[in-house]
């Protein structure tokens, strides 16, 4: 059974983890730092980020970490964060697109995007695009994007209504955002392969993990009784954050992992982190292509690996 003790020595590597101030992101950042990587804690809440840094250093005194403010709900913040990272680090070896929201009431980002789609996908799309030069300068960078089993609820982005105008429901929005994460991870790997670069894109999902994600959903009241149900279920039978972070850690660090693969708990919601089969719908390529068009149109950011690699 794979555990973080199997992570190879990451000395000299630079990792960026979004949402690193709590939950799965904090565990991921700590384990990467414990293995010797310099870890950028990219987070919106600076007080929580400072507490996370203190916690990492308390557990691993030799840890090399820094905080970079990042609000995925603001394209300006994403660009500023990427500029800060690019200026300080010529190469980025690992990018974990971990941060996200779940089943929140309908809201808009600073740029007018539906909040869950804007934060969970569009913000990460723009961040990855801005960090491409640094990722491509690494020997063999890995980008890990975190999805969810909610993608099975359907919800591929509709180019004519990506922000669910008049159709918003908390779980529908979450399903769309997590489907977008899934398609983004696969589409990015396609671009890496076409460009002939060594960077790889992988996908991970944490199963049912007992983190603040469920509690925040309940606090904000967007998911009704189902949010409370999943909060209780996670508390009673969900994995710990340390267990839930293992799929994304394995995807980011296992020398045997390959681009385009999905890592998840063996039994869907629980179990050790293993490689799981990809379920490909007949129209998946169309959905990936549409997602790219929508993402570039909405953000105004072009994510073209071949151009960045020249």
pLDDT of residue 101: 93
Give residue 234's pLDDT band: very low, low, confident or very high (50, 70, 90).
low
Residue with tokens 């967007």: 222
Give the pLDDT band of residue 149 (cuts 50, 70, 90): confident
Residues in the chain: 310
pLDDT score recorded for residue 71: 98
Average pLDDT, the chain: 92
Q: What is the pLDDT of residue 228?
A: 56
% residues pLDDT > 70 (the chain):
91
Q: Tell me what percent of the residues of the chain surpass a pLDDT of 90.
A: 82
The pLDDT of residue 239: 87
Predicted confidence at residue 15, as pLDDT, reads: 99
Query: Residue 116 burial (CB < 10 Å; 0-12/13-18/19+)?
Result: buried
Q: What is the pLDDT of residue 129?
A: 98
Residue whose pair of structure tokens reads 């073209």 in the numeric block: 304
| Chain position carrying tokens 């960026």 | 16
pLDDT at 188 over 80: yes
Where is pLDDT greater, at 97 or 233? 97
More confident residue, 66 or 217: 66
Structure confidence at residue 10 as a pLDDT band (50, 70, 90) = very high
| Residues 256-298 pLDDT 10s | 999 999 999 998 888 999 999 987 778 999 999 999 999 999 9
Residue 90 pLDDT level (bands cut at 50, 70, 90): very high
Structure confidence at residue 221 as a pLDDT band (50, 70, 90):
low
174 is catalytic: yes
Which pair of tokens denotes residue 194? 């076409």
Window from 30-34, 100-104, 178-182, 193-197 with minimum mean pLDDT: 100-104
Mean pLDDT across 7-16 = 98
Place of tokens 């007949």: 282
25-29 contacts at long range (C-beta below 8 A, 24 or more positions apart): 25/96, 25/98, 25/99, 26/52, 26/55, 26/56, 26/241, 27/241, 27/242, 27/244, 27/245, 27/249, 28/96, 28/98, 28/245, 28/248, 28/249, 28/252, 29/56, 29/65
Residue with tokens 């045997």: 256
Q: What is the pLDDT of residues 17-47, one digit of tens each?
A: 999 999 999 999 999 999 999 999 999 999 9
- What pLDDT sits at residue 52? 98
The predicted pLDDT at position 40 comes to 98
Least-confidence region, from 176-180, 190-194, 239-243:
239-243
Asked whether the predicted pLDDT for residue 108 surpasses 80, the reply is yes
pLDDT tens across 40-67, in order? 999 999 999 999 999 999 999 999 999 9
Residue of 174, 182, 263, 267 marked active site: 174
Q: Confirm if 119 and 165 have CB atoms less than 8 A apart.
A: no
């Amino acid at each position: 059974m794979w555990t973080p003790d199997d992570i190879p020595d990451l000395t000299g590597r630079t990792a960026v983890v979004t949402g690193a101030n709590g939950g799965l992101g904090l565990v991921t950042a700590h384990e990467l730092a414990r293995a010797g990587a310099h870890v950028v804690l990219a987070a919106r809440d600076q007080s929580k980020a400072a507490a996370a840094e203190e916690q990492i250093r308390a557990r691993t005194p030799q840890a090399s970490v820094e905080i970079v403010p990042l609000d995925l709900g603001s394209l300006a913040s994403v660009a500023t964060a990427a500029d800060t990272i690019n200026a300080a680090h010529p190469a980025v070896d690992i990018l974990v697109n971990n941060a996200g929201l779940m089943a929140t009431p309908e809201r808009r980002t600073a740029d007018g995007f539906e909040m869950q789609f804007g934060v969970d996908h569009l913000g990460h799309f723009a961040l990855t695009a801005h960090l491409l030069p640094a990722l491509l300068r690494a020997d063999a960078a890995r980008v890990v994007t975190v999805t969810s089993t909610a993608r099975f609820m359907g919800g591929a982005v509709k180019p004519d209504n990506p922000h669910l105008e008049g159709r918003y429901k908390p779980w529908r929005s979450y399903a769309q955002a997590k489907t977008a994460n899934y398609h983004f991870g696969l589409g990015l790997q396609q671009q890496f392969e076409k460009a002939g670069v060594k960077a790889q894109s992988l996908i991970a999902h944490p199963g049912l993990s007992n983190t603040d994600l469920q509690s925040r959903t309940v606090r904000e009241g967007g998911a009704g009784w189902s949010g409370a149900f999943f909060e209780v279920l996670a508390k009673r039978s969900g994995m710990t954050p340390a267990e839930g972070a293992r799929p994304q850690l394995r995807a980011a660090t296992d020398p045997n992992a390959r681009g385009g693969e999905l890592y998840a708990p063996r039994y869907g919601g629980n179990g050790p982190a293993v490689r799981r089969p990809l379920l490909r719908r007949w129209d998946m390529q169309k959905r990936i292509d549409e997602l790219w068009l929508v993402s570039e149109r909405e953000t105004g950011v072009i994510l073209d690996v071949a151009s960045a690699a020249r």
